[in-house]
């Protein structure tokens, strides 16, 4: 049977599994039926990342600077020229991700900016926008995005000085998810009037900073009453935030949080006090996901006890933890893993550990007892890989595995490289559901290759292929402080 002879009813199912834009573009050209279903899929999500081919020059040499600017401009021009000229294509766009963009467009670039604004105005069905390149967001873009009536999700760079008027932000009145990177004082000053106006709509709020002293308990306490329906709170790099500020947010929610991320908060953060308050009120009785960081100054035994207490009454599904700075030895966290499995084994679908060694015994316990485990990120010595593979085989629903080397700044030891043949030996011992394997900076997706035997029978064999999803592998975004 030819591809063009396939029943039209199954085309949407086939196309839905195609991830790469270039593959979708080819499908658009097969025939009218393929074009009908592939075009909406191709244009529903558009993104420009900084590491794309023809994006930023990797070498920091003077001769590349102008070429780099031209390449970025070309991407932007091609994208927004299409969106401005073809309204029917712009109407398909649901998710726009601009992670690279010319900084501070000059008067010479006015034509480009007009293209951008015109293109955005045509995106009537846009629901999610990410615009995170420092210095690239301006007031005109913000005003145009506010005209997108269906916009519910906004990620943006909070460094506004000389780029946009922070007083425009309260004009976004329908957002359900907000993520702000490196917010300035001007942006922070708008949070209270912004959330007073439309905070009841907000379901998810994330602040990503780099040791900012601007995010304080007083700030969180001031906006907390405006966020009754918040379900996800994530704070990164906020060393002035303690348990009091976080409790103000948690206690103001009507139903409690589903997700909580506390990364790089104050060293005075008292986990015991927060745990007691939450248990007394049942405020985290719906918590599904938690992300935490640890540091050298903590008394790990007490901290682990308090964390386990904090989540003891929660239906936890995702547990993420990493160390700021030095790596912790496996023995220190043994009680954490034993008790985590004891309390939450039947529900856990993801365990993510970074910059902290975890023992093979703990991994064996996790893989054998957590019957719904789908994602596992661990730190492991290369000498333990063979034993690790044997224990991974115990997890019957495991879909994603990532292995990182221990980090030790005092040595010159480089992260080990997992060769393809060794990676294949690992996946062949895992369950057939495994579809992604990574080691340090390398990520593969697991594909199936159909092989015809001499007798004519067909069999499927697992092979490693380059990572093909447009999504950033989450293991590369976890450690942010």
CA–CA distance, 130 with 188 (Å, rounded to integer): 19
Q: What is the pLDDT of residue 329?
A: 74
Question: How confident is the model over 467-480, as a mean pLDDT?
Answer: 70
Question: With the CA atoms of 209, 190, 158 and 69 taken in that order, what torsion angle do they form, in degrees rounded to the nearest 10?
Answer: -170
Q: Secondary structure of the chain: what % helix, strand, coil (to 5)?
A: 40, 20, 40
Given a cut of 60, whether residue 64 has pLDDT beyond it is no
Q: Pick the range with the lowest mean pLDDT from 64-68, 158-162, 306-310, 441-445.
A: 64-68
Given a cut of 50, whether residue 62 has pLDDT beyond it is no
Q: Report percent pLDDT > 90 for the chain.
A: 67
Which CATH architecture best describes the domain 45-188? Alpha-Beta Horseshoe (3.80)
Q: Mean pLDDT for the chain?
A: 89
Q: Where are the domains of the chain?
A: 1-43, 45-188, 348-471
Q: What is the pLDDT of residue 480?
A: 56
Q: Global pTM? A: 0.90
The conformational region for residue 413 under phi > 0 = left, psi -120 to 50 = alpha, else beta, is beta
Given a cut of 90, whether residue 86 has pLDDT beyond it is yes
Q: What is the pLDDT of residue 410?
A: 44
Name the more confident of 400 and 330: 400
φ, ψ for residue 61, nearest 5 deg? -120, 150
């Amino acid at each position: 049977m030819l591809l063009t002879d396939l029943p039209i009813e199954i085309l949407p199912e086939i196309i839905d599994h195609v991830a790469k834009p270039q593959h979708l573009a080819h499908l658009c050209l097969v025939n009218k039926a393929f074009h009908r279903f592939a075009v909406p899929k191709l244009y529903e999500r558009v993104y420009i990342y900084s590491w794309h081919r023809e994006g930023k020059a990797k070498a920091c040499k003077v001769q590349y600077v102008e070429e780099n600017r031209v390449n970025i401009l070309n991407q932007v021009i091609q994208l927004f020229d299409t969106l401005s000229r073809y309204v029917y294509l712009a109407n398909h766009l649901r998710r726009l991700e601009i992670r690279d963009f010319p900084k501070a467009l000059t008067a010479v670039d006015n034509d480009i900016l007009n293209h951008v604004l015109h293109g955005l105005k045509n995106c009537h069905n846009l629901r999610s926008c990410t615009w995170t390149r420092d210095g690239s967001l301006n007031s005109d873009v913000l005003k145009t995005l506010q005209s997108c009536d269906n916009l519910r999700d906004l990620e943006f760079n909070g460094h506004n000085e000389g780029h946009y008027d922070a007083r425009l932000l309260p004009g976004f009145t329908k957002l359900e998810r907000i993520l702000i990177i490196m917010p300035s004082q001007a942006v922070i000053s708008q949070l209270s009037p912004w959330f007073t106006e439309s905070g009841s709509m907000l379901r998810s709020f994330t602040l990503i900073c780099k040791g900012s002293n601007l995010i304080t308990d007083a700030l969180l306490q001031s906006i907390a009453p405006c966020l009754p329906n918040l379900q996800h709170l994530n704070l990164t790099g906020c060393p002035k935030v303690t348990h009091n500020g976080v409790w103000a947010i948690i206690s103001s929610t009507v139903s409690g949080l589903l997700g909580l991320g506390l990364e790089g908060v104050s060293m005075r953060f008292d986990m015991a006090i927060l745990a007691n308050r939450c248990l007394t009120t049942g405020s985290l009785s719906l918590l599904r996901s938690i992300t935490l960081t640890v540091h050298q100054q903590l008394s790990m035994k007490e901290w682990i006890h308090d964390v386990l207490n904090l989540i003891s009454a929660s239906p936890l599904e995702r547990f993420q933890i990493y160390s700021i700075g030095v790596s912790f030895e496996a023995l220190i966290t043994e009680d954490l893993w034993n008790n985590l499995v004891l309390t939450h084994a039947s529900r856990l679908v993801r365990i993510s550990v970074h910059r902290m060694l975890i023992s093979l015994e703990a991994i064996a316990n996790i893989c054998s007892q957590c019957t719904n485990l789908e994602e596992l990120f661990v730190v492991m010595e290369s000498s333990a890989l063979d034993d690790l593979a044997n224990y991974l085989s115990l997890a019957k629903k495991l879909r994603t595995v990532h292995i990182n080397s221990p980090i030790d700044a005092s040595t010159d030891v480089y992260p080990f490289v997992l060769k393809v043949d060794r990676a294949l030996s690992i996946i062949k011992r895992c369950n057939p559901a495994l579809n992604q394997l990574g080691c340090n900076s390398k990520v593969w997706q697991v594909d199936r290759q159909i092989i015809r035997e001499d007798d004519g029978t067909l069999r499927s064999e697992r092979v490693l292929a380059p990572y093909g999803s447009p999504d950033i592998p989450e293991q590369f975004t976890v450690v942010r402080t």
